[in-house]
Each structure stands twice: as structure tokens, then as C-alpha cells.
Amino acid sequence: MGQQPAPVSPPQQFGAVAVQHVWPTEQLRADDPATSQLKVVQQQRVGPAAVKIARYVVRIVRTVDEVTVDGQPARYERAGDRLIIAAARTTPEPFRVRIRYHGKPSDGLFVQQTKHGDPSAFADNWPNRARHWFPSVDHPSDKATVELIVTAPDRFDVIANGTRIETTSLQNGMRRTHWSESTPIPVHCMVIGATEFSIVRAGAIYGTEISYYLYPRDREHGIRELGRVPQILAFYSEVIGPYPYDKLALVESSTRFGGMENASAIFLDEKRIDGNGSLEELAAHEIAHQWFGDSVSQREWHDLWLSEGFSTYFGNLFYERAAGREAFLEKMREDRSRYLKAQSETPRPIYDPSITDLFKLLNRQNYEKGAWVLHMLRGLMGDAAFFAAIREYYSANRNGNASTGELRVIMERHAGQPLDWFFRQWIYESGHPVFATKWTWRDGKTVVEIEQKQTGKVFRVPMVLALGEKRESVVIDERRERFEFVTEAKPAEVVLDPDEWVLWSAVAPATAF
């Protein structure tokens, strides 16, 4: 999706402090993108978790003019994009940091023309590019509430996270708009968007207002292409749990991605809204992110499958509800094909700490294979236990962070069995089983021989075999297996995994011998 390298950058003060609230105040001259210089004052409320700290570190690329701590001038120094602030504290009380800075961002916030030539400004932070336009600890583990106060030309509409608190004409051709998000969200989801919009109210689901922010010239086909957004929101609310934010806005924008799941204000690539296709599947994926990625955020970048795999699978699940099992399975088959192709070209596990360019985490293992991991868990546990576990996972980690290990513990509790073997082979190890199958029938018995042909480890695979109309459950956990079943008549065929619950491939269809 993205092309620029973004090196891994964990927070500088794990266990020391955490940002509680952020107030960036932006002044946009978006009507003159070529010369736009942003002058900004940002405040942060910081809550120390340790009794004593000597400094506070954030990331900021722009020019810093002044720093205060609790209203008093503070010493600071720069080390690359790190702003190191002298903030000696001997008590665990929160403190306020105020940073005044200026400059034209080279990334993260883009002041430029839309595809129609109209002036605009849009933030685009993923994964750690927020530092280009406001001081931040841009790591998913450091979540905060946020207020975004934007002064822009008065003909512009401004969208951001949360609830709109105020919009005021300054009677000088400019307008100040104040948005406030009272739920902690990750920094990469803190955004603003400003241009001339057509704002369409698309209804409300369980008290959550849905709206579309579309370029005026794209209004009609934008509404049509977004499809069944209200039904998607209703489905997730019923299956996962309550929607975590005050509103749901889908915004036409200049994001570099197809879509970006910014909390309560999803940005959609303007190039995708062209009257020639559907945005419904993309919308389903990004709306699922509001629960998985935004509300329950991965604790570290390399657990990205907890965001992207979940959103891919739940996007597919909507079509199981809306269009039936076969439509859902067709999407799962497409995901399997994309994963198999990628794995053949670049073999890697889902959890791959060797990746240091964060954009390379946007891979088929985290998306499509991650979706299949959830699908296999569902097949192993059954619908009742699986969806109960999903609801607990969301409820236990809502507005916080989670890891694969924490997900495993919850899944084990609902499955009633240890699942360390499952997560080890499917998340932390690379690949999938490749089967070669032969079978024969003689004297009222069907004999099935299965060999795992992949190089490397042998997988443990609970699976169903279809012997004609008869079904048998087996566990394949050796390189070569031989199963014998009583069958009065010779089966017309033997099919592995007839209901498509397992991620695997075959060297050839099962053959009789």
C-alpha cells in the first residue's frame, strides 16, 4: 500500500509516562497549498506511571519554537525527530506540556488540491507519520483522548475524530472548528480533513449517526457506491459488541491507502469514488477496524494481524449474513488464493519481528492468512464458543491494547482446551500444510492415506473427511497418516475438508488406488 520506509519506533518511555489527552490547534491556509505554513500550539496532558521521571520524549519533525511544562518554560533538545523535554517529576501527578511549533509538513498532513482541483487538507498518519504534523508518541500502545481545533477558510467543512463541539466564524474569511474525541484512540487514527464537502446524513444505528463527507461533484455515485453501510454497522454491533465511538463518518479524501480506518472518521481514497464500482467491501473492512485496530489496538506493530486479519474476516462475515454461506466462502477462497501466491513468493509467518519497515507489515500474511486463522478457530470451536470469545476479547480490551497471547487465553477459555499449538503453528511459524491424498475401498472398508508434502514442520490439523455421504473427523499430525473407516459401499469420492474450514493446499486432488 505505502512505499516510503517507516522504521519501527517503540515509545521512548514505556512504563514511565503515557499521554492522556492531546490538543493540537492547527491554522490552515489550504486555499494556498504551495505556500502554506502551519502555525500550531499543542498541549498534552501526561500521566506518569512511575513516581520519578527526568524527561519526556515525543516525536516531531517540524520546527519547535517554545516548550512549557505546567505553564513554566522548559528546557528541551532535539535529536533527529526526537524532542527531549526536561520534565523532572517526583510525584505521579499528571502534568501539562505545551509545544509551539511551525512549518509545512512534508508528510502526515497534506495540504494540496483534490482530484477536482479544489484546495484541501487531509491527515494520513499510518503507521508513524503523525510526527510530521504534531508532537506525538506515534505507537499503537500509547492511546489518548484528543481535541482537534482547526482554523480554515470559512467555506471549508472540517471533519475530525469524535464530536463536533463548536464551529465559529472569525469574521475574517476564516472559521474555527473544534472536534473532541473522549475515547482513547491510537495516534495514527487522530486526523483532520478540510475541504468543501457535500455532507449526507445516512441514518442512525443504535444511536450512532452515520454520515458521508463527499466532494460535491461525487455526491451521487459516492452514496451509491458505499452501499449498505447502515446494515454493516448494525451487524458488527450485534455480533461483536457496542460501537465504540459517538459517530461514524466516511470521508472522501486524499489518503494514500484505499481506505484508512481513522477512529469515527474513515478516510476513503478519492480515486476509488469514480462511479464505476462499489466501495461496500472496502467500507465493511474499514468499519470493522473501528472495533479491531482502533478500539482494541495491537500492543505492538508486529501483532498487526489483530487489526488487519480481524477486519478482513469480519468484512467477509458481513457477506455471510447478507448474501449467504456460498458468497462468504467465495471471499474466503479469494483470500486463500492471494495468501498462497504471496507465501510462494515471500515465505514468512504472520508474526515476523524481522520486519523493520512497517509498510511491509501490510502483507497477505497479516490480512488474508490472519482472516483464515480466525476462520479455523471458528471451525475448531464452533460458532457459539467462537463468537462468545470474540465478544469477551472486545469487551475486555475495549479502548485499550491487546496481544496475540491475550487473545489466545480468551479463546482457550471458550474452547475448553489448550490452543498454544494452534497459535504457534499458525501465527509464529511460517506456511501451511500441503496434502497428497490417496484412497481405496475393499471389503467394506475405505482406507485413506494422507501425506504432508510441505518442507519443514509437520502441522497438526483437525479436519473432516467426506467419504461420499459419510463424514469422519480426524487429526492429521504426522508426516504420513493412514486412516481406515467402515463403509458399506465404495464412496464416489473422498474429499478433505468439504466445508472449507482449514487453510491448506494440495499437490493434486485425492486419487483412488
The top-level CATH class assigned to 434-512 is mainly beta
User: CA separation (Å) from 81 to 17, 101, 125, 328, 493?
Assistant: 19, 13, 15, 45, 63
- 489: its cell numbers: 459401499
pLDDT at 473: 98
The amino acid at 456? G
What pLDDT digit, counting tens, does each position of 351-383 carry? 999 999 999 999 999 999 999 999 999 999 999
Asked if 301-428 and 434-512 have one fold, the answer is: no
What is this structure's pTM? 0.93
Q: What pLDDT does 44 receive? A: 87
> Are the C-beta atoms of 38 and 103 separated by less than 8 Å?
yes
pLDDT value of position 85: 94
pLDDT one-digit tens code per residue, 428-458: 999 999 999 999 999 999 999 999 999 999 9
- One of 3.40.50.1820, 2.60.40.420, 1.10.390.10, 3.40.50.720 is the CATH number of 301-428, namely 1.10.390.10
Q: 21 or 420, which is more confident?
A: 420
Tell me which of 7-11, 305-309, 482-486, 500-504 is least confident. 7-11
| Residue 33 in this model has a pLDDT that exceeds 60 | no
In this prediction, residues 187-205 reach a mean pLDDT of 97
Q: Identify the pLDDT of residue 126.
A: 97
Distance between CA atoms of residues 288 and 291, nearest Å: 6
- Computed over every residue of the chain, the mean pLDDT equals 92
pLDDT in tens, 137-164: 889 999 999 999 999 999 999 999 999 9
CA distance 171 to 110: 26
Length of the chain: 513
pLDDT at 292 > cutoff 60: yes
Q: Within its chain, how far is the Cα of 282 from the centroid?
A: 12
**CA atoms of 460 and 282, how far apart (whole Å):** 34
The domain spans of the chain are 17-289, 301-428, 434-512
Query: Could you tell me what percent of the chain has a pLDDT over 70?
Result: 93
Q: What is the pLDDT at residue 11?
A: 40
> Does pLDDT of 20 surpass 80?
no
The per-residue pLDDT for 7 is: 37
Highest mean pLDDT: which range of 15-29, 43-57, 168-182: 168-182
Q: Which residue has the higher pLDDT, 341 or 511?
A: 341
* Contacting residues for 240 by C-beta, under 8 A, at least 6 apart: 291, 314, 390, 391, 394
Residue 324: the pLDDT is 98
What's the mean pLDDT in 240-244?
98
Does residue 190 contact residue 131 with C-beta atoms inside 8 Å? no
Question: Does the pLDDT value for residue 407 go beyond 90?
Answer: yes
CATH of 17-289, one of 3.10.20.30, 2.60.40.1730, 2.170.120.12, 3.20.20.150: 2.60.40.1730
